[in-house]
Amino acid sequence: MKGLIEVPVNEDVGLVSGTPEEHIKTRRVRIYCPAKSAMQCGTNNIHFWQIDFDTRERWENPLMGWTSSGDPMSNLKVEFATEQEAIAHCEKMGWDYYVQQPNKNNPEPRSYGTNFSWNKRTRVSTK
């Protein structure tokens, strides 16, 4: 045997992941860039992409009142550096996916001095 061994590029490895097939074939994966926490001022820890599965079969536990689930994929959150890495992972696993684009917010810079400026549009009446 001489030559190189060729491996298919888009090999479906989702069959050997151990997850039951009914939890994978009938669901969609959402690829998204999570929003920053309301408790942080800067933009640290928001420059990554995550995947999660759509939710199904949840119920309230009558004893404690907690929400329970029989879904093995409900708490799966995987982080990726780029959107293309997340898409490549979903295609490799054979999952149906969609990409939710992040909402970009570019606020205008404001200064504290504009609160006291004598401009008719920004001035607040004290009467």
Tens digits of per-residue pLDDT, 86-119?
A: 999 888 888 889 999 987 777 777 788 777 777 6
Question: Percentage of the chain with pLDDT > 90?
Answer: 17
Q: Are strands 96-100 and 28-32 parallel, antiparallel or unpaired?
A: parallel
What CATH number does the domain containing 57 carry?
3.30.160
What is the number of structural domains in the chain?
A: 1
Asked whether the beta carbons of 78 and 51 are under 8 A apart, the reply is yes
6: tokens are: 């060729």
Asked whether the beta carbons of 95 and 29 are under 8 A apart, the reply is yes
Predicted TM-score of the model (pTM) = 0.68
- Residue 58 belongs to some domain of the structure: yes
- Residue 30 belongs to some domain of the structure: yes
Q: What local confidence, expressed as pLDDT, does residue 24 receive? A: 72
- Residue 79 belongs to some domain of the structure: yes
- Residue 61 belongs to some domain of the structure: yes
* Domain carrying residue 50: 14-35+45-115
**Which of 124 and 55 is assigned the larger pLDDT?**
55
Measured CA to CA in angstroms, residue 60 lies from 65, 67, 112 at distances of 6, 4, 49
